[in-house]
Amino acid sequence: MAGHIEDYALIGDLHTAALVGRDGSVDWLCLPRFDSPAVAASLLGSSEHGHWTIAPADPGDPAPGRGTDRRFYRGDTLVLESRWETPHGSVRVIDFMPPRHLAGGAVPRLIRLVEGETGSVRMRSRLRPRFHYGRITPWVTSVDQPFGTRRVRMTAGPRELWLDSSVETTITEDRSVLTDFTVCTGERAAFVLTEQASHLPAPPLPDPQRALEATETFWTEWTRHCTYTGPARAAVIRSLITLKALTYAPTGGIVAAPTTSLPEEIGGVRNWDYRFTWLRDAAITLSSLLRTGYREEARAWREWLLRAVAGDPENLQIMYGIAGERELGEAELTWLPGYESSRPVRVGNAAADQLQLDVYGEVAETLHLTRRPGADAYDEAARLQLHLTHHLEQRWQEPDEGIWEIRGPRRHFVHSKVMAWVAVDRAIQLIESGGADGPVERWRRLRETIHRDVCDNGYDPARNTFTQSYGSTELDASLLLIPRTGFLPPDDKRVLGTIDAIQRELSTPEGLVRRYPTHGEQHGLDGLAGDEGAFLVCSFWMVDALALAGRLTEAETLFNELLHLRSDLGLLAEEWDTRQQRQVGNYPQAFSHVGIVDSALLLAELTTTRHTTSITTTSGRCGNAQAITPTAEPAVP
Ligand SMILES: OC[C@H]1O[C@H](O[C@H]2O[C@H](CO)[C@@H](O)[C@H](O)[C@H]2O)[C@H](O)[C@@H](O)[C@@H]1O
């Protein structure tokens, strides 16, 4: 296992992803989909649980534990290059997974090219596949090949892996595939790992060079469409590539992160499976992609949404599998010791059965942003939105588990109610624009009722702050979103008071923001023991709230500090452990990268216009305020 979470690089093929450590080891790889069982799971255990390492072979070459000397993504792509300087010469390893549609939608492939740059370097590749998250050792056999390539087949029941290499391999007693080889200046060795169903004939022999060229062209072309031109362009591009890499291309579903059980506290129990599509996470991801010019992804997700939530709104789930699956049953993988002994390791997610009223607002907002101008009343998405609003009308007064998926008793979360207001507000806007027919007068009264309910029960006048839930004195970072939704204008005194209160009570000394107070060893309000780090997307929400409140310098300072927390490759996990100064939680996480994109867009807009007051929303207690949309959103085809 390669060390800290941020030591891992992400590569992927828009169906699944792999994490590659600084030591040249692929320690996480689920095939064929993001949510499939891992064939390399040493990330959550040890090398026994499956890995594939390619690195210099001689002891001290490089110093043990030091890993690659320098690594980077090649240009604006998801192709990773790791360079190693050794006393005998230098070498580079190029790791990538060709987007599957480039190979005719065929089999998943992880390609590793080793190129000698100077001198002569002895290298070692050790592939130790373990199916079903490290539990199953495959049957490994060599397959004769006429044309000088080597093929090894690794079979475990219904699935199998094939390793094609340009150099001789041996199969060891522990059923690893070992390759010792030397690369000299200008030489190249190629390794291709392919996965498929085991009843199929052998996969075709790959052409690694063509695959590399096609993969680089794909990502370079894709990033060329980005419309953001502000000062944080490099960070934004890397975040957009990461968000795209979390998209399951066949359906348009987006995973919250490609990992499970990277801990929110090292050694703790807050370990969850994020390889699913949360309506909330996907909706905000789409909004970021859309506002940076990526309309096709927005269209694909809208189609995904229409299929996934099809049926009775009663049956709406807050999250689904990447193809819209509903059964996400949670289980513990008892044989895995967990990342740095953080157990349990979980697969599946019981949050799928929760009530989280905010998702109505997030979905409505995304449908609102992706609406085609002039769409007729029978537009599918408009119909869905009306349906969901009718349903919400019956349920908005219920307590729920809220945005943070609290596992304790349900409460009247203020953020949930604000997002219910958003859902009703956007439905009213839909009807007012002629996009659909609906009970607009009744919903205007409902919007006013929800607004009053929140301001009467979720605001503490003595402290001049909104609170986490009705009747509670706790705070919650999700309240920072209020000015972005249009519920109240950014300069409203209650909004300004809430920012101050969150800075006082939820901020770390560095100014990062925790999502709510936890209670150490006690089971706190989230129903869990233990603590967690500062929540990165909440810290970006603070950037936005400060910027909208006209505190632009503070906002920019915090934004730059957050950018410094990224890995050397520009990646962010869910949280930052301020004590240990390292990333924690699943990685890389869509939420955090959405935070980068959204804050960069807002700061660029506000810095350009230089007068923040033009961004304020319509003031008014129950008003039909406009959400903050810092850049023009193109409609979706
Ligand atoms: O920490 C408690 C909860 O953590 C997970 O939820 C978090 O991740 C979701 C996906 O990014 C996000 O939508 C949610 O807002 C976050 O709180 C976990 O999935 C939950 O089961 C868990 O209770």
CATH number for the domain harbouring residue 185? 2.70.98.40
Cβ–ligand 1 distance for 421 under 6 Å, the answer: no
For CA atoms 346, 348, 350, 352, the dihedral sign is positive
Domain boundary among 182, 204, 221: 221
Distance (angstroms) between ligand 1 centre and the Cα of 106 equals: 33
Nearest to 353 by CA among 330, 323, 369, 379: 330
CA angle 626, 312, 624 (to 5 degrees): 15
Ligand 1 atom index nearest CA of 574: 11
- Cα separation, 586 vs 563, in Å, equals 18
pLDDT in tens, 215-247: 999 999 999 999 999 999 999 999 999 999 999
| Residue 138: domain span | 5-221
Residue 634 has what pLDDT? 44
Which residue's CA is the nearest one to ligand 1's atom 21? Answer: 351
**Pocket of ligand 1, candidates 404, 407, 536: which has the most ligand atoms within 8 Å of its Cβ, to mutate?**
404
Residue 633 has what pLDDT? 43
Total number of domains constituting the chain: 2
Do the Cβ atoms of 459 and 450 come closer than 8 Å? no
Pair (131, 241) in one structural domain? no
In a domain, 632, yes or no: no
Do the Cβ atoms of 149 and 122 come closer than 8 Å? no
Domain boundary among 206, 221, 236: 221
Cβ–ligand 1 distance for 403 under 6 Å, the answer: yes
Domain boundary among 177, 200, 221: 221
Pair (112, 239) in one structural domain? no
Please give the C-alpha separations between residue 605 and each of 70, 198, 368, 599, in angstroms, as whole numbers: 35, 53, 21, 10
Q: Where are the alpha helices (DSSP H) in 373-460?
A: 380-395, 414-432, 440-457
Pair (295, 270) in one structural domain? yes
**Pocket of ligand 1, candidates 272, 328, 574: which has the most ligand atoms within 8 Å of its Cβ, to mutate?**
272
Pair (453, 471) in one structural domain? yes
Pair (216, 233) in one structural domain? no
Pair (136, 274) in one structural domain? no
Residue 522: partners with Cβ closer than 8 Å, 6 or more residues away: 529
Pair (160, 243) in one structural domain? no
Global pTM exceeds 0.90: yes
In a domain, 626, yes or no: no
Cβ–ligand 1 distance for 404 under 6 Å, the answer: yes
Ligand 1 atom index nearest CA of 532: 1
In a domain, 621, yes or no: no
Cβ–ligand 1 distance for 415 under 6 Å, the answer: no
In a domain, 620, yes or no: no
Which residue's CA is the nearest one to ligand 1's atom 18? Answer: 272
Beta bridge partners of 26: 20, 52
Pair (208, 263) in one structural domain? no
Pair (93, 76) in one structural domain? yes
Pair (292, 271) in one structural domain? yes
Ligand 1 atom index nearest CA of 407: 23
Which residue's CA is the nearest one to ligand 1's atom 22? Answer: 405
Cβ–ligand 1 distance for 591 under 6 Å, the answer: yes
Distance (angstroms) between ligand 1 centre and the Cα of 328 equals: 14
In a domain, 629, yes or no: no
At which residue do the structure tokens 């936890």 appear? 518
- Cα separation, 301 vs 279, in Å, equals 10
Cβ–ligand 1 distance for 349 under 6 Å, the answer: yes
In a domain, 610, yes or no: yes
Cβ–ligand 1 distance for 278 under 6 Å, the answer: yes
What φ, ψ does residue 427 adopt, rounded to 5°? -70, -40
In a domain, 603, yes or no: yes
Pair (214, 297) in one structural domain? no
CA angle 456, 462, 468 (to 5 degrees): 55
| CATH at residue 425 | 1.50.10.10
Pair (255, 198) in one structural domain? no
Q: Where are the alpha helices (DSSP H) in 109-254?
A: 131-134, 208-224, 233-245
Q: What DSSP element (H or E) covers 306?
A: helix 295-308
In a domain, 637, yes or no: no
Which residue's CA is the nearest one to ligand 1's atom 15? Answer: 404
Longest dimension (CA), the chain: 81
Cβ–ligand 1 distance for 519 under 6 Å, the answer: no
Ligand 1 atom index nearest CA of 280: 13
Distance (angstroms) between ligand 1 centre and the Cα of 404 equals: 6
Amino acid at residue number 637: P
User: In the chain, which stretches have pLDDT less than 50?
Assistant: 377, 611-626, 629-635, 637
